[in-house]
């Protein structure tokens, strides 16, 4: 498909029209299936354009499914890497800039990155070849699918209220379980990075949202080591790690004007920044899912993650 797209220079629309399509949670955007992953059409265009991205071995990719902690990981990685430049935390860029504007998405092909840090929601098997062959490092954050599902359902209603639909939580769950969610199926996405980690542990770091939420320091220290910006003993003694954790905490970021009051024009829609900061809780699914709904997700997780050391 990709080759023929380049060879015949057919329009993207024609290319899209040949992909399986399904209605997702947001009526304005169907999802289309490309190489086993469901994308919004305008995002797929970026994914395909990104295939030509020339990654350097020194580049670091922050990978995740939407609603798994992407914003948090961007804030942490940015702060770790730039901590010498922005040592005065009282005027730190994160106090006035969205984490999403500190580190750009690979899929947004029209943006250029200043730091050797990029984020992406693309599953491992569809990442640009240069990332895999060039030996770039990958950090993957993932989260309990029940919380990802609930977070996504809220996000799609809050981020772009104009596009919001009355689709019930039950209907949305049906789609999510079938894998029909942006960048889904959830399970295949997580497994793609889990397998990559198994094959090259030196190149892939897995971070678990729940572990980080309960006790951020060890994961953040690990992250800094892995991306080549370890904390010195002196820094540790000065509490530098804790300061970064505090700056990037849900409580701090969600209370900043930039993240709670402003809006953002993205490629296709205007989004409320506050939609990226809802509750930041472990197990908020308990307030939304019936035991049967939760069990349905758990059962798929047990089936798909059986034989791995992933939480199931």
Binding site for ligand A3P (CB under 6 A): 64, 66-72, 75, 147, 151, 154, 248-250, 253, 276-280, 284
Q: What whole-number distance in Å separates Cα of residue 260 and Cα of residue 72?
A: 15
Q: What whole-number distance in Å separates Cα of residue 122 and Cα of residue 105?
A: 10
Identify which of 248, 246, 269, 244 has the alpha carbon closest to the alpha carbon of residue 259: 248
Measured from the CB atom, the residue of 78 and 194 that comes closer to ligand A3P is: 78
Smallest gap from residue 282 Cβ to ligand A3P (A): 9
Long-range contacts of 156-162 (CB under 8 A, 24+ apart): 156/25, 156/26, 158/272, 158/274, 158/275, 158/278, 159/269, 159/271, 159/272, 159/275, 159/276, 160/26, 160/269, 160/270, 160/271, 160/272, 161/272, 162/269
304, two tokens: 């798909």
Smallest gap from residue 137 Cβ to ligand A3P (A): 19
Identify which of 69, 60, 75, 86 has the alpha carbon closest to the alpha carbon of residue 226: 60
C-beta of residue 143 within 8 angstroms of C-beta of residue 69:
yes
Lookup result for tokens 């580190």: 103
Smallest gap from residue 44 Cβ to ligand A3P (A): 19
Measured from the CB atom, the residue of 15 and 73 that comes closer to ligand A3P is: 73
Measured from the CB atom, the residue of 15 and 121 that comes closer to ligand A3P is: 121
Smallest gap from residue 61 Cβ to ligand A3P (A): 15
Q: Which residues pair with 205 in a beta bridge?
A: 139
Pairing of strands 30-34, 21-23: antiparallel
Measured from the CB atom, the residue of 137 and 157 that comes closer to ligand A3P is: 157
Enzyme catalytic residues: 121
Measured from the CB atom, the residue of 191 and 253 that comes closer to ligand A3P is: 253
Smallest gap from residue 152 Cβ to ligand A3P (A): 8
CA angle 117, 121, 127 (to 5 degrees): 80
Identify which of 151, 115, 172, 138 has the alpha carbon closest to the alpha carbon of residue 250: 151
Smallest gap from residue 109 Cβ to ligand A3P (A): 20
Under DSSP, is residue 83 helix (H, G, I), strand (E, B) or coil? coil
Measured from the CB atom, the residue of 225 and 255 that comes closer to ligand A3P is: 255
């Amino acid at each position: 498909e990709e080759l023929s797209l380049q060879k015949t220079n057919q329009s993207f629309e024609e290319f899209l029209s040949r992909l399986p399509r399904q209605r997702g949670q947001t009526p304005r955007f169907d999802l289309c299936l490309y190489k086993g992953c469901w994308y919004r059409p305008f995002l797929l265009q970026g994914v395909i354009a990104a295939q030509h991205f020339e990654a350097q071995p020194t580049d670091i990719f922050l990978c995740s499914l939407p609603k798994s902690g992407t914003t948090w990981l961007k804030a942490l990685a940015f702060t770790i890497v730039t901590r010498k430049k922005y040592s005065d935390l009282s005027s730190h860029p994160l106090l006035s800039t969205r984490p999403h504007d500190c580190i750009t998405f690979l899929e947004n092909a029209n943006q250029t990155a200043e730091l050797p840090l990029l984020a992406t929601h693309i599953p491992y098997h569809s990442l640009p070849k240069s990332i895999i062959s060039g030996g770039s490092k990958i950090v993957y954050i993932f989260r309990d699918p029940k919380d990802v599902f609930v977070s996504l359902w809220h996000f799609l209603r809050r981020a772009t209220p104009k596009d919001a639909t009355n689709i019930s939580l039950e209907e949305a769950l049906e789609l999510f379980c079938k894998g029909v969610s942006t960048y889904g199926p959830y399970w295949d996405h997580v497994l793609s990075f889990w397998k990559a980690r198994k094959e090259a542990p030196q190149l892939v770091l897995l971070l678990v949202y729940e572990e980080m939420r309960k006790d951020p320091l060890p994961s953040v220290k690990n992250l800094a080591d892995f991306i080549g910006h370890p904390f010195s003993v002196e820094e540790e003694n000065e509490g530098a790690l804790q300061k970064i954790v505090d700056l990037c905490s849900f409580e701090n970021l969600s209370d900043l004007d930039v993240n709670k009051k402003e809006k953002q024009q993205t490629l296709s829609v205007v989004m409320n920044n506050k939609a990226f900061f809802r509750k930041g809780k472990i197990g908020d699914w308990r307030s939304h899912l019936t035991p049967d709904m939760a069990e349905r997700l758990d059962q798929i997780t047990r089936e798909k993650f059986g034989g791995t050391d992933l939480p199931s």
